[in-house]
Amino acid sequence: MNKINQISSLVICTVLMTPYSYASDGFFDWMSSTKRMKGIEAIDDKVYNEECGACHFAYQPGLLPQASWKKLIDPKALEDHFGDNAELDAETHKHIETILLDKAADKSHYKRSRKIMASLDKDSAPLRISEIPYIIEKHDELSSKHIKDNPQVKSLSACAKCHQNAEQGEFDEDNVRIPGFKQWDD
């Protein structure tokens, strides 16, 4: 193999492996794993879904890296959680924190979580899912009439308003129904 082919092969491998290098195992482990899944891992935990879902969509931990969840779940941060008091008792806090950190995007085997991680800078810890470059890019074809000016949606953070199977961690375009619109291009 000549030098140019060797360099090209190295570049291609690096590009292909980047989204998969953030989880605790490597690309080849991920490729051979039975845990390799599409979407985001759904969380079927009564405490998590009741506590976090009481005020908003119970976001799957695979939508943000551990660093983000650590900031969001910090007890001081919960005192003013985007304008609301979301304080938790110690036992509930520990339970939810464990779920968030164990299932975070940088620990996930799920495809969309890995794409989220690939879109972030190494030390990035966004506090809002709507600030993630991958999420922004996936919604760039939508105008404000679909989201911000749509009284049934109002925000990109209202995932379940348009993604019919969001609770199951499915965010495929095939299952998107924007309230008030027959099709995206209306």
Could you tell me if 87 and 152 lie in one domain?
no
CA–CA separation, 75 vs 116, rounded Å?
26
Nearest to 20 by CA among 30, 12, 11, 6: 30
Taking only the tens place, the pLDDT of each residue in 112-128 is 999 999 999 988 999 99
Could you tell me if 59 and 26 lie in one domain?
yes
pLDDT at 19 over 90: no
Q: For residue 4, what pLDDT band results from cuts at 50, 70 and 90?
A: low
**What is the residue range of 174's domain?**
139-186
Query: Sign of torsion, CA 45 47 50 52?
Result: negative
**Looking at the domain assignment, is residue 86 inside a domain?**
yes
Could you tell me if 63 and 122 lie in one domain?
yes
As a whole number, the mean pLDDT across the chain is 84
Nearest to 105 by CA among 181, 25, 41, 15: 41
Could you tell me if 104 and 143 lie in one domain?
no
Could you tell me if 57 and 120 lie in one domain?
yes
CA–CA separation, 13 vs 7, rounded Å?
10
Q: What value does the mean pLDDT take over residues 82-102?
A: 95
Could you tell me if 12 and 81 lie in one domain?
yes
Could you tell me if 56 and 100 lie in one domain?
yes
Report how many domains make up the chain.
Answer: 2
**Looking at the domain assignment, is residue 133 inside a domain?**
no
Could you tell me if 118 and 148 lie in one domain?
no
